[in-house]
Structure 1
Amino acid sequence: MIEQEKFFKTADNTELFYRYRPAKNGSKDKAIVLFHRGHEHSGRMMFVADELGFDDFAYFAWDARGHGNSPGERGDSPSFGTSVSDIQAFMQHIEQEYQIAPENICVIAQSVGAVLVATWLHDYAPKIRCAVLTSPAFKVKLYVPFARTGLALWSKLRGNFFVNSYVKAHYLTHNKARQNSFNQDPLITRAISARILLGLYEAAERVVADAQAITTPIQLFISGADWVVHHKPQHDFYNHLGSHIKERYVMDGFYHDTLGEENNHLVFAPIRRFICARFDEPFQMVDCKQAHIAGASRIESDELATPLSPYSPRGLFWAGYRTLMKLGARWSEGLRIGKETGYDSGSTLDYVYQNQPQGANTFGRFIDKNYLNAIGWRGIRQRKANIAKAINLAIEKLRTVGKPVHVLDIASGHGRYVLDALTAQNHPDSVRLRDYSPINVKAGRQLIAERGLQDIATFNEINAFDPENYQDLSPPPTLGIVSGLHELFADNDLIMHSLNGFGKAIEQGGYLIYTGQPWHPQLELIARCLTSHKDGRPNWVMRRRSQQEMDQLVEQAGFQKVHQWIDEDGIFTVSLAIKIK
């Protein structure tokens, strides 16, 4: 079949280039999607279609931002997370444009492309059939001592800059033809930006550590004589995987370009077998809905809930940390609010949203600024921005099909993240905000009054977990919102009370916006030092839910995810789902 050159639009409306080769036998229901390594482009991946020899698969291969025929400064992207989001946009484009369902797609990726795909699998939990990852660049061999530290420091001092690759073609593959084509290819990008290289390291460390959240069938190839990347993180990734079906091959003597090596038939033979085996059996998903009873996240939360000996080094460290936070609460407004109302309260979140350091004096404001700039609070503010995007998209979809927009948020805090999202152009027909806390309800009603929204907005004190509170709602909600609530409770059975309430209240074709927290780098700090509004003790222990677990709970209530957003650090997700049954 004739290879076609096309473009698709990303979330920020950038048009990226991709190659498309229809299935030789005319089939239109299955696809293999290829992702190139750093410095390269789609033209150097399409040979995989010839090597595999499958006539019943369509083939797609993109040029990542800053590579090949795609726009952007060579070797750069706004962020590593942006490139991961681009994968999601690409896969959605394939599904919508070619009517190929995700469960009929296999992904094959090399090096940096493999890390992008692994991060996408972790953060977005796509329902693809399987993935083949070759020499994923979880840790690049920089050779220069303290190179990563130096890159980070220099980028803070002077902003983004570029590093040229030291790797010559003869260190990538033994195949002479492949070496020559690399050296003569005008689309090869020798440079990579510092922010992408540093983002690659950060995302890789997170995904390798939390690979149990990935349950997609995975086939991993590790090149035994790789000059470019370290082996250990690849093995750690494989060992941590939550996939029930996984295979690992260490290719002795192979250089980094695993698929383009001299004896690549040793790689493609098991790839063919693996793909055929996955597509010969019915599509299966690992059921994660019982993770609150048994699983990695349950073990993690149980360990965080275990008291430390007050005389152990860790016990002494966290006791000292708690003492400093209590002392800081005398001067820092944020710490004071957290101490008095709980660090997970609506009052705390509203203060974090406003992001205006306050304190009793200059020292207090300095403490408060650092407190508000914590990685978790930065993610919370990005979650607020992403909720606004989800609200706007949901309203647009409802208006397009002629449905009214009646919003119901069941645990609103002060409601700022909902009210700030409303503009003159996207006003809903009604907004019902709810919360169990009288403090939050009072503050929320004040925000409604300040914005002059009394004609469409109400705020009532109601328990989100009582199924009876979702009955006989008039008018029936067409857009439900639950933000930050489910992350506070480990029990999935409890979560289903609110989700089933939504499921019954929202008619078919309505939407649900829900949040998740698949990852957090400060879980022990939170568990050992931060008080919860639920009981006022320093035991805010969170059980992280993988995105797949959260999506499956929502599906059980009758919804199907149609879009998702996530912050750059991979901490907080915002998803939009449609009611399908």
Structure 2
Amino acid sequence: MQQAAPVHIPERQFISSHDGTSLAYYPFLSEEKTQANVILIHGGGAHSLAGYEHIAYTLQHDFQVNTFLIDLRGHGHSDGKKGDTPTVTDVWQDISQFVDTVKQQHQGAVYLCGHSSGAGLLLNYLSWPKKREVDGYFFIAPEFGYQSDTARPDQIPFASVQVWKFFLSAMTKGRLMGHSEAVRFHYPAWVVEQDQLLLTAITVNLSLALTPSAPKKKFAGIDQPYAMLVGSEDELYDIEKMSAYHELPHEEIKQQSVYEVLDGHTHLSVLLEAGKQIGKTVQMWSRSI
């Protein structure tokens, strides 16, 4: 990732969410006419410009796809308490606000894309009864949480979790511990020093927004075509176990969907290759409409 050439970043913009929270985003707009838009959700604790700009730039210039990098509330340059959310569903409502904004301002299909725990957030969102309708989903190196049964047996944990806080929150129906830091990320010190926007911890509420309960059941209920892109050298999960998710959805959905292993790529370096695969998949879906 450090060796990747920098790309041009468009001017940061903001929208106001349902509760007045100002949410930052970066619109990578194609200079040519386009009929496709991708909204990209970063992983928990990260932010829009933590490598995701490479996907956006590729889609913008090589595939003429408008791409919107969004900072979740409490992340990056968005407002809100760092690493927190007032309620679990506020984060999902923010996604709806972005979808509404893109649909109002741009023509064409709208796709939602998530990386790592951002993919977990997307899986939660697409099974939420109040979600907005979109045309498809992209899951990049998806982290579907502790119930996913995908972790590598030799995994070196990237995060430590204070499980008792989640129990107490659940027992009190969210009245206690919701805003307490419960998941701490183990970034090397030099990484945090280099990128001041990275968060080192998130709260119970935010973690619940990002972590699917019953992920296999939710994935089986996907209502639109999807693409799942994983790196062959991902440090967090067993890609053989991840491929089993591709067998879960309805046959009609599965026939339109894509599962692809990107050879030699890790959990983060996959961001350098994913733009090409997303662009090719958008083209395939566009031809089938």
The residue number in structure 1 matching 2:186 is: 166
**Alpha-carbon contact 2:118-2:210 (below 8 Å) kept:** no
Matched, 1:153 2:167: yes
Matched, 1:121 2:126: yes
Partner Cα distance (2:215, 2:140) in 1: 16
Matched, 1:19 2:30: no
Deviation at residue 240 of structure 1 after TM alignment: 1.6
- Cα gap change, 1:28 to 1:277, in 2 (>3 Å): closer
The residue number in structure 1 matching 2:4 is: none
**Alpha-carbon contact 1:34-1:62 (below 8 Å) kept:** yes
Three-state SS of the structure 1 residue aligned to 2:85 is: coil
Partner Cα distance (2:131, 2:145) in 1: 23
Partner Cα distance (1:148, 1:220) in 2: 30
Partner Cα distance (1:275, 1:31) in 2: 9
* Structure 2 unaligned spans of 5+: 1-7
The residue number in structure 1 matching 2:141 is: 135
Considering only CA atoms, is the larger Rg found in Structure 1 or Structure 2? 1
The residue number in structure 2 matching 1:211 is: 219
Partner Cα distance (2:75, 2:241) in 1: 26
- TM-score, scaled to structure 2: 0.76
Tell me the amino acid that sits aligned with residue 31 of structure 2: K
Aligned 1:527-542 pairs, distance under 5 A: none
Deviation at residue 51 of structure 1 after TM alignment: 2.9
**Alpha-carbon contact 1:41-1:67 (below 8 Å) kept:** yes
The residue number in structure 1 matching 2:260 is: 249
Partner Cα distance (1:42, 1:68) in 2: 7
Partner Cα distance (2:77, 2:185) in 1: 20
Partner Cα distance (1:14, 1:164) in 2: 24
Deviation at residue 55 of structure 1 after TM alignment: 5.4
Task: Give the percent of matched residue pairs that are identical in Structure 1 and Structure 2.
Answer: 20
The residue number in structure 2 matching 1:326 is: none
Aligned partner (choices 110, 117, 121) of residue 115 of structure 2:
110
Partner Cα distance (2:18, 2:141) in 1: 28
Deviation at residue 231 of structure 1 after TM alignment: 5.2
**Alpha-carbon contact 2:58-2:275 (below 8 Å) kept:** yes
Matched, 1:67 2:87: no
Partner Cα distance (1:199, 1:108) in 2: 16
**Alpha-carbon contact 2:38-2:113 (below 8 Å) kept:** yes
- Cα gap change, 1:239 to 1:168, in 2 (>3 Å): farther
The residue number in structure 1 matching 2:5 is: none
The 10-residue stretch of structure 1 (16-25 or 85-94) with the greater mean CA deviation from structure 2: 16-25
Deviation at residue 68 of structure 1 after TM alignment: 0.3
- Cα gap change, 1:75 to 1:89, in 2 (>3 Å): same
**Alpha-carbon contact 1:17-1:62 (below 8 Å) kept:** yes
The residue number in structure 1 matching 2:12 is: 5
**Alpha-carbon contact 2:47-2:72 (below 8 Å) kept:** yes
Deviation at residue 70 of structure 1 after TM alignment: 0.5
Query: How many equivalent residue pairs?
Result: 261
Partner Cα distance (1:222, 1:2) in 2: 26
Aligned partner (choices 189, 199, 206) of residue 196 of structure 1:
206
**Alpha-carbon contact 1:132-1:220 (below 8 Å) kept:** yes
* Structure 1 unaligned spans of 5+: 170-178, 283-581
Higher relative contact order (CA 8 A, sep 6+): 2
Aligned 1:346-495 pairs, distance under 5 A: none
Deviation at residue 232 of structure 1 after TM alignment: 7.3
Partner Cα distance (1:233, 1:14) in 2: 38
Partner Cα distance (1:192, 1:15) in 2: 19
Tell me the amino acid that sits aligned with residue 184 of structure 2: N
- TM-score, scaled to structure 1: 0.40
**Which of the pair is proportionally richer in helix?**
1
Partner Cα distance (2:9, 2:277) in 1: 27
Partner Cα distance (1:233, 1:148) in 2: 26
Deviation at residue 9 of structure 1 after TM alignment: 2.0
**Alpha-carbon contact 1:37-1:113 (below 8 Å) kept:** yes
Give per-residue Cα distances to partners, 1:143-187, cap 9 Å, x unaligned: 59x956434235569623213202449xxxxxxxxx96x751111
**Alpha-carbon contact 1:23-1:57 (below 8 Å) kept:** yes
**Alpha-carbon contact 2:21-2:80 (below 8 Å) kept:** no
Deviation at residue 138 of structure 1 after TM alignment: 0.7
Deviation at residue 94 of structure 1 after TM alignment: 1.4
Give per-residue Cα distances to partners, 1:26-74, cap 9 Å, x unaligned: x264322211111111123222122333353222111001100011121
Partner Cα distance (1:79, 1:237) in 2: 29
Aligned 1:193-342 pairs, distance under 5 A: 193-201=203-211, 204-228=212-236, 234-242=242-250, 243-244=253-254, 245-251=256-262, 253-260=264-271, 264-265=272-273, 267-282=274-289
Partner Cα distance (1:230, 1:196) in 2: 25
Deviation at residue 239 of structure 1 after TM alignment: 2.3
The residue number in structure 2 matching 1:85 is: 93
Partner Cα distance (1:228, 1:154) in 2: 27
Give per-residue Cα distances to partners, 1:294-344, cap 9 Å, x unaligned: xxxxxxxxxxxxxxxxxxxxxxxxxxxxxxxxxxxxxxxxxxxxxxxxxxx
- Cα gap change, 1:195 to 1:228, in 2 (>3 Å): farther
Partner Cα distance (2:113, 2:96) in 1: 15
